[in-house]
Amino acid sequence: MSENRMVSVKLPENLYQELVLRIPEGDRSIFIREAISEKLQKTPKADKILALEERMGKIEEEFAQIRKYLADLEILTFQHGKINPHQFCIDELDHKIMEYLLHYKSATTPELADYLKTNRWLILNRLRKIEKTSKKQAGKPIVEYYAGDRSGKKKAWWLDEELIQE
């Protein structure tokens, strides 16, 4: 057993009177020591909380990875043709981008920038955000960038038509 240390405690009068009534004079130190020990057993340690938070983060990452694999295998139970593409839009600009993609099925960032009269880098960032958000929520991105030649377009963003509402 380790060395004992002296601790001074101020108690409210009614609590002190209760202690005097219930615990004999020679046993009060032991009682207080055991009460503190019991309370400490119930109080989680800060490092344990940190370790639990880290474990939760790892579990969330692993769950996201499993979800990605299931989506890649198309086992994830998103319903084909049931996703509203506008649910991933945060403002009017995103809605206009989505409307253009719904109409033309694909677009390059310069095309969208000309159509919307804005900076193509802003368009690129918005498309990436829509891609990331939709992948996180639906398991598959609703828009995807394809650098190669596809239907006569190179380096374009394509709408995944099997995911959208019909």
pLDDT digits (tens, 9 = 90+) for 69-78: 766 565 444 4
Q: Does residue 155 sit in helix, strand or coil?
A: strand
Computed over every residue of the chain, the mean pLDDT equals 85
Rounded mean pLDDT, 119-130: 93
Quote the pLDDT of residue 147.
Answer: 87
Give the H/E segment covering residue 144.
strand 143-150
pLDDT of 128 strictly over 80? yes
What gap in Å lies between CA 79 and CA 83, rounded to an integer?
8
Q: What pTM, to 2 d.p., does this model score?
A: 0.51
Unique residue bearing structure tokens 């299931």:
70
Convert the pLDDT of each residue in 34-84 to its tens digit.
Answer: 999 999 888 877 888 888 889 998 998 888 778 767 665 654 444 555 778
The winner for highest mean pLDDT among 78-82, 103-107, 123-127, 144-148 is: 123-127
Looking at residue 43, the DSSP 8-state letter turns out to be S
Q: Does residue 142 sit in helix, strand or coil?
A: coil
Quote the pLDDT of residue 76.
Answer: 47
Q: Does residue 83 sit in helix, strand or coil?
A: strand
